[in-house]
Structure formats: structure tokens, C-alpha cells
Structure 1
Amino acid sequence: MTPIYKAKQYPTDKPVVFGGKRLFEKLCKNHLAGKVREGLKKQWKEQRQGTLISVGSKSDKENRLMRFEDLNGQLHLRITIGNREFIYAKVLREPSNSKDKWLTFMAMLLGSWQTQSYFPYTVELKLRDGEVYGSVSFELPTPKVRYTKENGVIAIDTNASPIHLAIAEVSKTGELLSYQTINLHHLLGLSQNSKDHQEWILAHQIVDLAIQKGKAIAVENLKKLRKGKRGDGKAELRKRLHQWNAKKLLQKLKRAAMLKGVEVIEVNPAYTSIIGMLKYAPQLNIDKDIAGAYVIGRRALGFKEDMPENYERLLKDKTYLEFALKRYEDREKELTELIEKEGNQYKRNALESELRNVENARKLLANFIQSLQSEPSSCEGAYGRNPERGKGSKASSVAWLVLKVALLFPILGKVLSRDLSPLKPVLVEGVWDRVRKRLVPLEAGGASR
């Protein structure tokens, strides 16, 4: 089978030497002897006899003699060795980059298992230095994109603490229609092979959801996903990021969507979390991660995020901003004292990480208050000295950052909180002044405690 198949691939009228002409010519030289000759002989024999090719067809469920199968949640190659006798070889293959065709092959393979609509592929095994290497050849499909953002999007936000996906269905007019979260913590204990297999299944499930809803998929731009850094006081988070790579899942999702004709829109994830947590989480009573996914979906559809009126008023309230600044100054002193007393290095790293965040927040607020003082008669301070900057994304991003530090710790008592409902009175009623006077958090509905 192998010589005939290879001969058809390379038609020629010249003589053929199986095992390689160059190796054969070296072996014919009389001066070679000992280990050098034996090594060349072994290499030539492997190339001559150590290749096995099985050509697939649709009627044979992709490939009769060598077929990929799921065995206990891991990808294996089933190799026929006799009359209904098989051996199973575990497949160890990692995609080298986002354009690796192995991603496409795996997406097609899992899709064929789900639909029982098989496609042919050819498997070639080669013996080299006592190790068996395999390669797969298949025809790349060119499906037409049928599901676009014209009907809205299914937006995906990846999160590492805890590890899960936030999914938001967004209408073409920008409304939140439905949402859900998918916990991924079970992936952490799996081998890389099993993890890849489960991620492929999940990718197909999300694509099938988009098809069911008739919508495109919106995801974060793969090149702009954040990574943890050593010494940031977040060792547990970095460990989870090392065990689970969001980029790999999104690569699989993009490839599965391509094969099923679903449009995938990548957006810059910058400030989507901040806008989601401050604007939509308290307004719609949803989790901050769902709110972040909602903003990703709206951004994919081309919507701009205006700042709510009461938030704009807060950014011009110099008295409240000075109160918020004082809160950060007090916390900075408190953390400095705690660090001096802390003997545990890991706890010290966490405190130092929080101190850096508090220092940055204090500096941001101080600079912002100074800009208000320089422009007391207008709201231009929220966007810098130049009023034209207020129309740009950079200026609005600065305003959202200031709003975040002015709200979260001064009102919620935390730099980051999962429950954003106490912000609703500020968003809807503009009652932040109660916080400044009483120095206590607000309950949802506007009542103080």
C-alpha cells in the first residue's frame, strides 16, 4: 500500500530507491564500517520499511485501519493489527500556534463525532530512531459564514478567579437577552490531553448555542489577554492561569466556529470589566463577569458606552472626591504599618500588592482633583484640559478609571467586590453624599447603615 500511494503522489519516470537514494549510495561505499555503517543501515531500513499509511474514506467512518477515537476522555489512535484486533496509541500533540491546522482537524473530528457526518483523512506512521511519529492529511473545508452579528452576538468573557466563562446573549439593538456561567474548575485536575479534549467539546457546545440563537460570537482579542506576573502577591491566581490557558480555549472556539459557518468577532477587552461592573452590574442586578461579557457583546456590535448622568455628577463633586482620597490615604498608612509587622513573606507580598493598588488609586484621584481645580467652571476636568479629549476613547477610559477608584473602596470598603448592588443607589439616585457624611457603606435601595 505504501509504495503505490507514495508513487501516485510523486509521478516520475525515473528509477526509485525505497529508503532514500542518498542513504543507499552511502551504504554502497566500501570505506564505511563498524558503528557508522550499522547506524546508516538502521536509518535506511527504517525509511525503507518503517512507514505505514492508511488512506481514509467517508464510507469507512473516516479511516478503516487507523482511526482517531475518544478513550476515557483522551484522544487515541486505533490501529488495526489483525481481524478485529486493535492497539491504541495515545496522541500527544499540541498546536504550535493559532494557525496550526491541527486545531482545524480536531474541530472537524469532534464535529463529525457529534453529527456522525464523517470526513476522510489519511494517517501516516513513521519509525525514526525507535520512536513512532504520525502525520494526518485531510481536505480543508471552506464553509460559508451563515451566522453573523446582524442578529446579535453570543459574547464570551474568560475569567480566572474563579475559573469560568461568562456568556451573554446580546440582541442586535444592544439589549441583554439571556446569560449563563460555565464553571471550568474541573479542568485543572486533568492531563493536557484530557483538558484539550474537554475544551474542544465545550467549544462545540458554545458554537452550537450561537447557531441555535442565530447569532455571531464575540470574544476578547487573543493578543490582549492579561497574564499574571511573579511577585504580584497573587500566586494562587498565577497558578490557575498556568494550569488553564484561556487563549487555547478561544483558539478552539474560533476554529470550531469557522467550520460551522459562525462569525467570530474579536474586540479589545480594555475597560470592559470596569464598565460592566460600574454600569451594568448594579443597573441590571447581574454578576460583574456577566456584565463584562455584555460590554464585550455591545462593543462587538459597535455600541459606545456613555457614562450615566449621576456618575458624571459624581466626577464633578470635589467634596466627595476629597473624601474618597482621604479614605485611600488612611488605607495606605494602615497597610504600611501591617507590612512592617508581617513576618510571613507570602502574606507580605499580598499586602504590598494591595498597597501598590492603593497608592496608584490615591495618585489618580489626586491628579484628577487637581485637574478639577484648574477647570472649576466646567466638566472638562473629567476629560483633561482639552474639551475635545472628552470625545475620545482615551479620555473616557481615564474617567472610568477615576470612577472605579472613587466608588469601590470608599463605598464598598473593598478594592474589588463581586457584589455591586450597593452601587445602584449611586447610579440611579445619586446618593453618594450619604457615604461621605456617615462613612458607612450603602445598602441597595439607598438606605444607609
Structure 2
Amino acid sequence: MPKVDILYKAKQYPTDKPVVFGSKRLFEKLCKNHIAGKAREKLKKQWRELRQGTLISIGSKADKGNRMARFEDLNGQLHLRITTGNRDFIYAKVLREPSNSKDKWIAFMAMLLESWQTQNYFAYTVELKLRDGEVYGSVSFEIPTPEVKYTKENGVIAIDTNASPIHLAIAEVSKTGELLSYQTISLHHLLGLSQNSEDHQELILAHKIVDLAIQKNKAIAIDNLKKLKKGVCEDGKAELRKRFHQWNAKKFLQKLKRVAMLKGVEVVEINPAYTSFIGMLKYAPQLSIDKDVAGAYVIGRRSLGFKEDMPENYEKLLKDRVYLEFALKRYEEREKELRELVEKETNEYKRNALESELRSVENSRVCPEKV
């Protein structure tokens, strides 16, 4: 097993006090003769685990982060490679999910992926502890605080999340508000993955977007995370909302923010209200672009301080819950009707026309929660 750095551990404690390895409290209990049988064996097991069941491996940049206990990617799954002898290793699968947007694990994973890609490694210390037959680990590392170099003064890369089909719409917006370029990125490959694999793939995607912002010398614009509900969608249909719950847009945007911070890219968060409607009604027909890209474009313009006016009559309708529910119901009924017609239609040209209308109906639904 890797050698435990006794000096590293000892420095964490006062030097003028006696030390009992394995816990003084448990040692004193074991010294009492009245404890016997299974209770005594249980105490002995706990004492041995505390006394001998701890391993500390201090890393270094020269050793690719940590020579004795190194994190590695095996088939898209994070593992900890532990050295047990002369080039002999065991691999432990890492089961860890971020608990919230400020969880330092997000920063560690972002830095780890960056180090793999650039071969510019950073040191991290791994401590493993044996408890009740299970191995628990902790990692300590230093989080850099780079200067923000890429700001909205040069424009933004705006991101909008969408559920039908599930994808990201990305719009590059100049500092004067013009649409310079756009693209969409499918997210279907994330559905059905284990949580750890999904986290890994999301971090890869986050790095890709941040690298795009760096390449374009721009900031990143997204919906305000405090106003973005978990599973918020652009579509009113129940199964589409369920699909978005399978992929948590908010968690991905949190990873994106963390990666951007580590690379010195400014992230601008805006109020998402009406961005989809304005994009669909104004910029989609005006610029001949997809409604989702148009929504991302509105996010970008809003982050730069441009204001979009919503027609008064539209705004009244969008605030009317009864009207919204009625409109969504009509769309759902028409979609169901079109699907049945498509299945029955044998004429290729008529079938193509029905499928075109069906896609139009699917793309016209908007989720009331976001207004």
C-alpha cells in the first residue's frame, strides 16, 4: 500500500498533547473489562479502522496530480487508481455527485478534465478512510482565481436550453447586438447515462462552449439560475417536461459557470421571461432562423442591455393562464390528430406535407412556466 505521510498528518495537530492512534475514546473503552462479547469485537473493529484504515497520498504537479492515488477516466467513468506495489494498481469507481452549485467538486472535476486535455496538471491530495468495511475518500486542492479576460464588452455567446428536440441553441452576438453566427448541439447522448457519466459528458460540453467563447473573445450569456426552475422547458407537453427532468439544465449551467470562472470568462445571467416568445415572434421570421436560436439571440441581446418590446396585446394574452392552457390544449389535440393522419397516409407527398405541419405544431408549443 502507498506510504502514509506521517509528517503531513502530524502537522495538523498540536505537538504538546499526547496522541492515541485509533481514537482515545475507543482506546479507553477497550481498557474497560466489563465490555465483552460482540460489543467488544465491534469496538475493536472500529478502533482498528481508525488506527490502520487511513491512507494519505500527497500529490504534485510533476506526478500528473498524484502518483500514488490518481484520478483517471475509464470508458467515460471516473476512477481512482491506487498504487499497491511496484507498478501494481487497483481501480476504485468514484461515486460522487455535486450537492449544490457551490460544491467544490464541480471545480475539481472541471480542473481535472482541463488537465487531461492540456497536460497541464495540478497537485491534489487524496485521503482514504475505512469505515464499516466501506472506503470513503476526500480530496484537497487549491482553486485558482484567474483574472476575467473575456467580457461582454466584446459581445457574448448566448446559450438557450430546449427540450423538443432536447438540445442547446447557441448564438454569437456582437457588442452592438447583431447576430454573427449560431449553432445547435444535440443532448440526446446524455439521456440514460449514469449520473457520473452524465456529469463527465456535461463537463466536456461545458469546456467546449467556454473554449468557443475564448476563441471568439466574448463572455457567455445564460438564463438566471435563480429564476430557472429545475426541469424548466420550452414545451408545454407533459412528456417533454418529463424529458427535461431527465436532463437537469440548471445543473449543466452550474458546471458551465464553474468552468468559465476557472478560464477567466465572464458569465452574464439574465431574466428569462419572454425570451422564447420574442425570439419566435420577432427574430425567427425576421432573420429566417430557428425559434430556439432566436431565443438564444434574445438572451444575448438582453445580456448586453438591449430591450425588446413585447406587443401589448401579446403580453396580455401571455399573462392569461386560461388562454395559455387553452392554446396548449389545442396544439396537443392538433398534434395527436396529425400523428394519426401520418400513420394512415400512404401517399408519400401528402405524408411529407402532414409531417411538415406536425413539426411546425411541435415547435410552436411554449411552456407557460417560463413566462
> Could you tell me how far 1:414 is from its partner in structure 2?
10
Q: Counterpart of 1:111 in structure 2: which amino acid?
A: E
Aligned to 1:222: 225
Cα deviation 1:288-329 (Å, max 9, x = unaligned) = 00000000011111110135xxx67xx59xxxx9xxxxxx9x
* 1:34-433 mapped onto 2 (5 Å cutoff): 34-226=37-229, 234-306=237-309, 418=363
Residue aligned with 1:294, SS: helix
> Could you tell me how far 1:212 is from its partner in structure 2?
0.4
Cα deviation 1:73-106 (Å, max 9, x = unaligned) = 1111111111111111111100110000001101
Aligned to 1:31: 34
Partners of 2:231 and 2:56 in 1: CA distance: 45
Partners of 1:194 and 1:31 in 2: CA distance: 51
Which has the larger share of helix?
Answer: 1
Which ranges in structure 1 are unaligned for 5 or more consecutive residues?
A: 322-327, 337-349, 355-411, 421-449
Contact kept in structure 1, 2:163 and 2:244, CA below 8 Å: yes
Moved over 3 A (4+): 226-229, 232-235, 350-354, 412-420
Change (3 A) 1:193 1:275: same
Residue aligned with 1:224, SS: coil
Q: Percent identity?
A: 81
Q: Counterpart of 2:112 in structure 1: which amino acid?
A: L
Partners of 2:205 and 2:270 in 1: CA distance: 21
Partners of 1:415 and 1:60 in 2: CA distance: 55
> Could you tell me how far 1:223 is from its partner in structure 2?
2.2
Residue aligned with 1:9, SS: coil
Task: Determine if the alignment matches structure 1 residue 5 to structure 2 residue 2.
Answer: no
Change (3 A) 1:15 1:419: closer
Partners of 1:197 and 1:417 in 2: CA distance: 31
Q: Counterpart of 2:218 in structure 1: which amino acid?
A: K
> Could you tell me how far 1:162 is from its partner in structure 2?
1.2
Larger radius of gyration: 1
Q: Counterpart of 1:115 in structure 2: which amino acid?
A: T
Change (3 A) 1:45 1:414: closer
Change (3 A) 1:293 1:55: same
Cα deviation 1:344-366 (Å, max 9, x = unaligned) = xxxxxx65999xxxxxxxxxxxx
Among candidates 18, 22, 26, match of residue 19 of structure 1? 22
Partners of 2:225 and 2:55 in 1: CA distance: 38
Q: Counterpart of 2:223 in structure 1: which amino acid?
A: E
Residue aligned with 1:93, SS: coil
> Could you tell me how far 1:23 is from its partner in structure 2?
1.1
Q: Counterpart of 2:258 in structure 1: which amino acid?
A: R
Contact kept in structure 1, 2:164 and 2:363, CA below 8 Å: no
Partners of 1:32 and 1:2 in 2: CA distance: 34
Q: Counterpart of 1:184 in structure 2: which amino acid?
A: L
Change (3 A) 1:248 1:419: closer
Contact kept in structure 1, 2:78 and 2:93, CA below 8 Å: yes
> Could you tell me how far 1:40 is from its partner in structure 2?
1.1
Q: Counterpart of 2:144 in structure 1: which amino acid?
A: P
Contact kept in structure 2, 1:53 and 1:124, CA below 8 Å: yes
Q: CA RMSD in A?
A: 3.0
Partners of 1:8 and 1:135 in 2: CA distance: 18
Contact kept in structure 2, 1:287 and 1:418, CA below 8 Å: no
Residue aligned with 1:17, SS: coil
Partners of 1:238 and 1:165 in 2: CA distance: 16
Q: Counterpart of 2:250 in structure 1: which amino acid?
A: K
Residue aligned with 2:109, SS: helix
> Could you tell me how far 1:415 is from its partner in structure 2?
9.6
Contact kept in structure 1, 2:231 and 2:247, CA below 8 Å: no
> Could you tell me how far 1:143 is from its partner in structure 2?
0.8
Contact kept in structure 2, 1:233 and 1:351, CA below 8 Å: no
Q: TM (normalized to structure 1)?
A: 0.69
Partners of 1:130 and 1:235 in 2: CA distance: 44
Contact kept in structure 1, 2:231 and 2:248, CA below 8 Å: no
Contact kept in structure 1, 2:230 and 2:248, CA below 8 Å: no
Residue aligned with 1:169, SS: strand
